[in-house]
């Protein structure tokens, strides 16, 4: 793990996103549409965590120069028990954060930061549910809790400001590829896969 500066997460994430911007945006829209359709029914809601896992699979594959497309990543969200594992993890995260926010808010904020990599670890490292939580907490503290908190805070504040502006808020959609690659850069740095001198210029196909 490299000790990189706060602003480096943003600059490296943006550089990662540039060469595959439209692929990232297109695939995000496809996953977003799938999530909206799934949310229509109670049963459909149960597959939303698997769809999120599929999107993370796509982002990691894309960032690492592996074959990345919607079909393969969608399938990855349901393969090898990922459907129930992602559902269980999201349930644990939701319950844990709800309890944390009820305890004077501060514990909830803390958990939302230190558990941020849990889903990435589940998809990438195939860890068991509680191991992802423990490892995520360890990685965040190794990187620097306040540094990761700051990155997440800046992104959330920008998103909130854009969402509050009716017309300009639509422009937030076009920032999503950069935001997703910032998150991936944070994770890759956490597990020791980020390089200061090399930002992958990769291709990711958009296959409906």
Average pLDDT of span 175-180: 95
Q: Evaluate whether 183 touches 13 at the Cβ level (below 8 Å).
A: yes
Q: Evaluate whether 187 touches 120 at the Cβ level (below 8 Å).
A: yes
Q: Evaluate whether 58 touches 65 at the Cβ level (below 8 Å).
A: no
pLDDT value of residue 196: 43
CA distances to 13, 52, 65, 189 from 72, in Å: 23, 14, 14, 25
Q: How confident is the model at residue 154 (pLDDT cuts 50, 70, 90)?
A: very high
- Does residue 197 fall inside a structural domain? no
pLDDT value of residue 203: 35
Q: Distance (Å, rounded) from C-alpha 61 to C-alpha 69? A: 9
Flag whether pLDDT at 94 surpasses 60. yes
A 10 A CB-CB count for 89 gives 26
Domains identified in the chain, total number: 1
Chain Cα centroid distance, residue 197: 23
Flag whether pLDDT at 206 surpasses 90. no
- Does residue 200 fall inside a structural domain? no
Flag whether pLDDT at 165 surpasses 90. no
Flag whether pLDDT at 195 surpasses 50. no
Q: Share the mean pLDDT of the chain.
A: 89
- Does residue 204 fall inside a structural domain? no
pLDDT value of residue 67: 81
- Does residue 135 fall inside a structural domain? yes
- Does residue 201 fall inside a structural domain? no
pLDDT value of residue 164: 78
pLDDT tens, position by position, 25-80: 999 999 999 999 999 988 889 999 999 999 999 999 999 988 888 999 999 999 99
Percent above pLDDT 70 for the chain: 92
- Does residue 133 fall inside a structural domain? yes
pLDDT value of residue 194: 58
- Does residue 27 fall inside a structural domain? yes
- Does residue 56 fall inside a structural domain? yes
Give the structural domain span for 71. 6-190
Q: Determine if the pTM surpasses 0.85.
A: yes
Structure-token match 């060469």, residue found: 19
């Amino acid at each position: 793990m490299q000790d990189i500066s706060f602003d480096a997460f943003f600059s490296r994430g943006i550089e990662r996103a540039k060469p595959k911007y439209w692929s990232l945006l297109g695939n995000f829209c496809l996953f977003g549409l799938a999530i909206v359709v799934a949310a229509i029914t109670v049963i459909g809601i149960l597959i939303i965590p698997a769809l999120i896992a599929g999107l993370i699979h796509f982002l990691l594959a894309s960032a690492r120069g592996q074959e990345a497309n919607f079909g393969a990543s969608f399938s990855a969200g349901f393969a090898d028990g990922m459907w129930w594992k992602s559902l269980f993890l999201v349930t644990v995260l939701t319950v844990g954060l709800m309890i944390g926010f009820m305890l004077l808010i501060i514990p909830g904020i803390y958990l939302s930061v230190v558990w941020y990599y849990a889903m990435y670890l589940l998809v990438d490292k195939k860890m068991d549910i509680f191991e992802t939580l423990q490892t995520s907490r360890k990685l965040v503290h190794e990187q620097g809790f306040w540094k990761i908190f700051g990155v997440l805070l800046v992104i959330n504040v920008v998103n909130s400001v854009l969402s509050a502006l009716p017309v300009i808020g639509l422009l937030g959609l076009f920032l999503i590829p950069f935001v997703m690659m910032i998150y991936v850069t944070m994770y890759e740095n956490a597990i020791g896969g980020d390089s200061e001198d090399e930002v992958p210029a990769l291709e990711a196909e958009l296959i409906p």
